Chains A and B, each alone.
Chain A
Amino acid sequence: MDFVLHPLNLVTFFPLVGVLVLFFINPARKNALRWTALITSLVTFGISLWVLTLFDASNPDLQLVIKLPWIQVAGWDISYHLGVDGLSILLVLLTSFLTPISILSTWTAIEERVKDFMLFFLMLEVGMMGVFLAQDLFLFYVFWEFTLVPMYFLIGIWGGPQRIYAAIKFFLYTMAGSILMLLAILWLGINQGTFSVPDLIAAGGIPVHVQTWLFLAFAMAFAIKVPMWPLHSWLPDAHVQAPTAGSVILAGVLLKMGTYGFLRFNLPLFPEAAVRFAPTMALLAVIGILYGAAVSYSQQDIKKLVAYSSVSHLGFVMLGLFALNPQGIQGGILQMINHGLSTGALFLLVGMIYEQTHTRDFDVYGGLWKIMPVYGSVMLIVTLSSMGLPGLNGFVGEFTILLGAFGSNAIGSPWYAGLAAVGVILAAIYMLYMFQKIFLGPAGSIVETVKEHGHALRDLNAREIITIVPLLVLIFWIGLYPKPFFTLMAPAVDKLVGILQMAMH
């Protein structure tokens, strides 16, 4: 019983209880299905808060560890091994926080096959939690690959007109990276004798030339997921075609699985290789920042703009991580959360207007602030957060990252940070451009088009406001008082940096 009620088991597998209940609900009772899924995900969020209360922020090591032998035959050492530390606690919270919000956003948007949708969504949550908690490489791989399946269905069944293409592309791209990681995992398991991540880190001692290959194999899987330039081309398709809730989770959590992978595996397992690759990774990150920003600016589709802005924002995260110093990594982790909140909110907002207008083309929009003042204000806050205005969350993350990258010995040149700072300016340009196109100026043709269909554009309703407010609260909280968030991760980051410092000398 202790095992079943272990907080990490509960937080990972509680959504399956919802899945089980959903099975027995008549598919026609859509609201019952929605409420079941929502309550399940809210309980899961509650459990994650319980995990937070049990979490000791001053302890740099894994906590609440569960380790049970799983596959232990013929020299295998695979365990069912979960644990949480400062690197993952915030991502666990982010996952359980964004899931109910996403479910709430589907209330009127998803009318077809609601039951299947909720089933896949809750299964996806299990997979994501598992990814952030697994401390055994095989277990991690299982969760990692498993997240592909529900997401594939979410895009493929409920997505836009090009959904099948986007879903398959998403699946194949991600799998292409992860199968190389599988081989690297196997190599580690065979030659180091264990699949346990903490044991592997403690043992160390992988020859540098092997580390290079293993680093590249893992990096391939994670870089596609992040996505880093030039492996990003699946992302715009997947984002644009996915239903709103899918985009929110995709941007909010699934992309973080990539950056988290670098943090959890590439840096501590192959520290020498990480040091050696730091300038290359920083270069790719900076290219991603500038490229993502430039391409965002030239989009006609609002969702595509937000999608490309993710490429840019995740570039910041990668730059921070590969600064390999405390500020950089802390900023990187915080920026993962920030991006989840801001971009998640952007996708939600785009979805809300799309539900009314059924178009995302900039040209038909304009002057919406007069008609939808609440929507406009919320959008302004989120836009400013996304472009890094001081006082809001994005600024804290980006500033810390740039600070880290400027002083980074591993990257070796302040130029990377300097170029990345240009990205902040570019972000301001394309975000404000988007805001202006939609909300300012004369009323766009969409206002008339909607009227012709017999109903006027309405402002946000209560449910939509409830969906978005929690995100706004966090956006302000992190922007004004980020200390508690840094406190949670600091000891674990210091421990990681310690490992990297050893490798530098």
Chain B
Amino acid sequence: MTQADFYTILPIILLVAWASALLLVDLFIPKGRKGLTALLAAVGLAAAMGITLTQSGHTGVGFSGMVVLDGFSVFVNLLLLFTGLLGVALAYGYVKRLGIERGEYYTLLLFSIAGMLLMAQAADLIMIFLALELLSIPLYVLAAFAHPQAESEEAGLKYFLLGAFSSGFVVYGIALVFGATQTTALSGIAAAVSAGTANTMLMLIGSALILVGFSFKVAAVPFHMWTPDVYQGAPTSVTAFMAAGAKIAGFAALLRVFSTAFPSLAADLTPVLWVLAALTMIVGNLIAVSQTNIKRMLAYSSIAHAGYILMAFVPFGNPDVAPISIAAGLFYLVSYVLTNFGSWGVVIALEKAEGKGLNLDDYAGLGRKYPGLAAAMTIFMLSLTGIPPTLGLVGKFYLFRAVIAGGFYGLAIIGVLTSLVSAYYYLRVVVIMYMRDGEPEATSEPWLNLTWAGMALATVVLSFVPSFVFEWASQAVMKLF
């Protein structure tokens, strides 16, 4: 082990150390002043972000090929750390208001992010599994953080059970792939497959099981059943973080595994991914239509968006299209993170204790009483639908372009038609906010306001200058191929 090894995962080391220290420091922070812990957590995240920025442009392999540092990992890590910062910002006032302010919240958050970063850098199936557990276990706890509220406990337990189940799939898949190739290193697997020494049958079953495991994590249909209940039951700040962070990490792992280790399986896996993406878009959007609770609606919407991102994987075996397709997927993730946090921020602003203020009807009259909040929510809803001038449209434009360039016209048509369905339920939020009368009560907290206002601004402004983000995403994936 050399310094270079440590440098590759320096942000992760920092986060883990910081989180452990925070656990101790928190003991000395008096109850009711846990905002300080949040601040410290944010400092840690910012520091990790700084280090990650210095890593950009560097590439390297650490710990005998267990982890890699490349443009892709830097891109994803920055996005994840940004997600973490937003997660802290949303939680800051929210946990206090709901009386669940405990210092461990932020420690758990940091551990989970450390796991996500590791996921983006893992180059070995064992590391991927390790990262998966490191990111998931704190999330199980966080989902149940509103204990002793029954919904939150239920969410935690459900998430834990199904998460453990999906981990089982991943481990089994890893075992089979190891059986087929005698290695767990991604590069070794690719080499074994191209040399023809791998057992194709075992390899195929193994990779399919890994795919199933991660489909649970990113909430792709038909492995999405846990999502609505968990998203609804968990404290909203956790939901927002989970919906963005866990998805990014899951997709990052999928991208890495499929583009480096399994490209030769494209012919067999493409139809599977096609069906997975199509089902996820269709089911997510259709069920979202009938929801009356905003958290549940956004949960189904996040399922649907997992489907759109999955579209980016479908052409992964086509070397001409794969780079732009995966770059489009990354771009879409960026746009999703911004929009997602913004909309959850609005939900938090309207949420009251004991799960009140979460019905769509509670948004009636928002346009009149809180024009800023309603305008921001409108921007998020338009962005999720894919209507200009928002980042969501640009994201969909890139995605559909990749899918069409890959020749998957049927999937593209399913994609746009489901977007049309989604317009119905996203617009309903706008209808209720502007066209019905009501007396909503919204909370105003500086960090919360900054989050939703900043995200709304970014969603609009970036839609006019999207090139640099896409360029950055393209460079990030270049090294993968």
Interface members, chain B 431-475 (any A CB < 8 Å):
431, 434-435, 466-467, 470-471, 474
A29-37, A156-164, A308-316, A460-468: which one contacts chain B? A156-164
Q: How far is the CB of A72 from chain B (nearest CB, A)?
A: 7
B76-84, B102-110, B205-213, B397-405: which one contacts chain A? B397-405
Contact A149 B382 (CB under 8 A): yes
Q: Does B419 reach chain A (CB closer than 8 Å)?
A: yes
Give B472's nearest chain A residue, CB to CB. A73
Q: Does B164 reach chain A (CB closer than 8 Å)?
A: no
Interface members, chain A 98-140 (any B CB < 8 Å):
113, 116, 138
Q: Does B393 reach chain A (CB closer than 8 Å)?
A: yes
Interface members, chain B 364-408 (any A CB < 8 Å):
367-368, 382, 387-389, 393-394, 397, 400-401, 404-405
Residues from chain A with Cβ under 8 Å of B471 in the complex: 73-74
Q: Does A146 reach chain B (CB closer than 8 Å)?
A: yes
Q: Once bound together, how far apart are the Cα atoms of A440 and B25, in whole Å?
A: 88
Contact B467 A72 (CB under 8 A): yes
Q: Does A504 reach chain B (CB closer than 8 Å)?
A: no
The number of residues on chain B lying at the interface, defined by a beta carbon within 8 Å of a beta carbon of chain A, is 36
Residues from chain A with Cβ under 8 Å of B412 in the complex: 183, 186
Partner of B474, one of A73, A153, A175: A73
Partner of B389, one of A73, A74, A142: A142
Interface members, chain B 326-342 (any A CB < 8 Å):
327
Contact B388 A142 (CB under 8 A): yes
Contact A74 B327 (CB under 8 A): yes
Residues from chain B with Cβ under 8 Å of A167 in the complex: 431, 435
Q: Does A187 reach chain B (CB closer than 8 Å)?
A: yes
Contact B389 A163 (CB under 8 A): no
Contact B423 A186 (CB under 8 A): no
Residues from chain A with Cβ under 8 Å of B29 in the complex: none
Contact B413 A145 (CB under 8 A): no
User: Other than the known A73-B471, A113-B368, A179-B419, what 19 A-B pairs have Cβ atoms closer than 8 Å?
Assistant: A71-B466, A73-B467, A145-B387, A145-B393, A157-B434, A157-B435, A163-B435, A167-B431, A168-B427, A172-B423, A172-B424, A176-B420, A179-B417, A183-B404, A183-B409, A183-B412, A183-B416, A186-B397, A186-B412
Q: For chain B, what secondary structure do more than half of its interface residues adopt (helix, strand, loop), or is it mixed?
A: helix
Residues from chain B with Cβ under 8 Å of A164 in the complex: 431, 435
Q: How far is the CB of A84 from chain B (nearest CB, A)?
A: 22
Give B464's nearest chain A residue, CB to CB. A70
Residues from chain A with Cβ under 8 Å of B420 in the complex: 172, 175-176, 179
Q: Does B276 reach chain A (CB closer than 8 Å)?
A: no
A-B contact pairs, 29 of them (CB 8 A): A70-B467, A71-B466, A71-B467, A72-B467, A73-B467, A74-B324, A74-B327, A74-B470, A116-B367, A138-B397, A145-B388, A146-B387, A148-B387, A149-B382, A152-B427, A156-B431, A156-B435, A164-B431, A167-B435, A168-B427, A168-B428, A175-B423, A179-B419, A180-B416, A183-B412, A183-B413, A186-B404, A187-B404, A190-B404
Residues from chain B with Cβ under 8 Å of A153 in the complex: 434
Residues from chain A with Cβ under 8 Å of B413 in the complex: 180, 183
Residues from chain B with Cβ under 8 Å of A163 in the complex: 435
Residues from chain B with Cβ under 8 Å of A179 in the complex: 416-417, 419-420
Q: How far is the CB of A222 from chain B (nearest CB, A)?
A: 17
Residues from chain A with Cβ under 8 Å of B430 in the complex: 152
Q: Does A454 reach chain B (CB closer than 8 Å)?
A: no
Residue among B323, B405, B409, B420 having the largest count of chain A Cβ atoms under 10 Å: B420
Contact A189 B401 (CB under 8 A): yes
A418-433 vs B, CB cutoff 8 Å, 1 = contact: the mask equals 0000000000000000
Contact A146 B388 (CB under 8 A): yes
Contact B400 A74 (CB under 8 A): no
Q: Does A207 reach chain B (CB closer than 8 Å)?
A: no
Q: Once bound together, how far apart are the Cα atoms of A183 and B399, in whole Å?
A: 11
Contact A182 B416 (CB under 8 A): yes
Q: Once bound together, how far apart are the Cα atoms of A309 and B388, in whole Å?
A: 32
Contact A75 B324 (CB under 8 A): yes
Residues from chain A with Cβ under 8 Å of B327 in the complex: 74
Q: Once bound together, how far apart are the Cα atoms of A171 and B387, in whole Å?
A: 11
Residues from chain A with Cβ under 8 Å of B419 in the complex: 179
Q: Once bound together, how far apart are the Cα atoms of A157 and B434, in whole Å?
A: 7
Residues from chain B with Cβ under 8 Å of A148 in the complex: 387
A48-78 vs B, CB cutoff 8 Å, 1 = contact: the mask equals 0000000000000000000000111111000
Give B419's nearest chain A residue, CB to CB. A179
Contact A142 B393 (CB under 8 A): yes
Residues from chain A with Cβ under 8 Å of B393 in the complex: 142, 145
Q: Once bound together, how far apart are the Cα atoms of A70 and B412, in whole Å?
A: 25
Q: Once bound together, how far apart are the Cα atoms of A74 and B323, in whole Å?
A: 9
Q: How far is the CB of A7 from chain B (nearest CB, A)?
A: 21
Whether A182 touches B435, Cβ cut-off 8 Å, given contacts A72-B467, A146-B387, A172-B424, is no
Whether A186 touches B424, Cβ cut-off 8 Å, given contacts A74-B324, A149-B387, A164-B435, is no
Residues from chain B with Cβ under 8 Å of A171 in the complex: 423, 427
Q: How far is the CB of B269 from chain A (nearest CB, A)?
A: 24
Contact A168 B416 (CB under 8 A): no
Contact A156 B434 (CB under 8 A): yes
Q: How far is the CB of A106 from chain B (nearest CB, A)?
A: 18
Q: How far is the CB of A335 from chain B (nearest CB, A)?
A: 30
Residues from chain B with Cβ under 8 Å of A72 in the complex: 467
Residues from chain A with Cβ under 8 Å of B409 in the complex: 183
Contact B424 A168 (CB under 8 A): yes
Residues from chain A with Cβ under 8 Å of B394 in the complex: 71
Q: Once bound together, how far apart are the Cα atoms of A306 and B285, in whole Å?
A: 37
Interface members, chain A 352-380 (any B CB < 8 Å):
none
Q: How far is the CB of B282 from chain A (nearest CB, A)?
A: 15
Cβ-closest 9 pairs across A and B:
A179-B416, A142-B388, A146-B388, A73-B471, A156-B435, A186-B401, A186-B404, A190-B405, A73-B470
Give A176's nearest chain B residue, CB to CB. B420
Q: Once bound together, how far apart are the Cα atoms of A493 and B413, in whole Å?
A: 34
Give B409's nearest chain A residue, CB to CB. A183
Whether A182 touches B400, Cβ cut-off 8 Å, given contacts A142-B393, A190-B405, is yes
A174-198 vs B, CB cutoff 8 Å, 1 = contact: the mask equals 0110011011001101100000000
Residues from chain A with Cβ under 8 Å of B423 in the complex: 171-172, 175
Residues from chain B with Cβ under 8 Å of A113 in the complex: 368
Residue among B389, B397, B413 having the largest count of chain A Cβ atoms under 10 Å: B397
